[in-house]
Copies of this chain bind each other. A is one copy, B any other.
């Protein structure tokens, strides 16, 4: 068994050495280095395109997905080795997307074989870029209060309403969305989970400017949008099951996946690089405490990933989301303090990153909602 893994490691290393273009080995992790894919994607260079194609052909854009759907069917142990080998050579991720992180897992769990065949391979190849349509204006933490209507008309839904906080909706090809298909049912019971092509007439988007100056989110409007009922995932009016599954998944992802927590700059290096930073006793003490907690959080993410191999993490993912995002905010507050006046100019980029982290504890369920989930479902407190 260990031998097999050792062999896998050697093969993987050799393949990566042979196939990863040198431009893709710079370890870059910022927004600029991400390949999101999609119909309108413009590759930053030929190497980016080549790297995506080679990895997709190998099934390694989504290593643990079944081969039938564009993956490589790797075990968790193999996947870990692949990640380690990529990291040790500084290889960029060939593709990142909400299709990989969110829709893929939901389809693997709830989709029909036909749906999986139709949607998963284009995600794996980076051909279709997805966005997520959950939140609505005014709903906030009360995600189940979906107002966007999908009225049945023959084989179609006619969708009307508005979503908000749809990440990169202006750049996405398709959206997976929660819509209300039964207005008379209790609020969790009349929701369906449907897939909509963003080019369908009646879909429009408007970017939201954030305090960081960036606009990674949009408002998305649906005005008599007709979409086939076959594009529903899961049963009609049972979309909340899909949503809950995805929410748990999203929490795990935000807490540390996608390069979030662990992909950030290591604290020691970040501070050591700053003139005078660590000579300040108060800041140093804060940094030391932050490093301790960061290391423990990283181990916790590892532990939960180990656990996820055999059992559902379930509600405890709320802890990962809560603690991971609060820690990330703390790291960036600390970074701003250490960098002092140098970080107060837009051109440095630090401030943008810092302000971006403030959304960590809001998006995908606020810290307050996470704590309430832990309180009720993990600790069994009343309420």
Contact = CB atoms under 8 A, between A and B. Distances in A.
Interface of A: 281-282, 284-286, 288-289
Nearest to A288: B282
Contacts of A284: 281, 285
A289 B281 CA distance: 12
A96 B249 CA distance: 61
Number of copies: 2
A293 to B, nearest CB: 13
Nearest to A280: B285
A20 to B, nearest CB: 43
A2 to B, nearest CB: 41
Contacts of A282: 285, 288-289
Nearest to A282: B285
A288 B282 CA distance: 8
Nearest to A289: B282
Nearest to A285: B285
Contacts of A286: 285
A281 B280 CA distance: 10
10 contacts: A281-B281, A281-B284, A281-B285, A281-B288, A282-B285, A282-B288, A282-B289, A284-B285, A285-B285, A285-B286
A381 to B, nearest CB: 15
Contacts of A289: 282
A267 to B, nearest CB: 16
A286 B281 CA distance: 10
Most buried by B among A281, A285, A288, A289: A285
A163 B289 CA distance: 45
User: Which 9 pairs between the two chains have the least Cβ-Cβ distance?
Assistant: A285-B285, A282-B285, A281-B281, A281-B285, A281-B284, A282-B288, A285-B286, A282-B289, A284-B285
Nearest to A284: B281
Given A281-B284, A281-B288, 8 more contacts: A281-B281, A281-B285, A282-B285, A282-B288, A282-B289, A284-B285, A285-B285, A285-B286
A286 B282 CA distance: 8
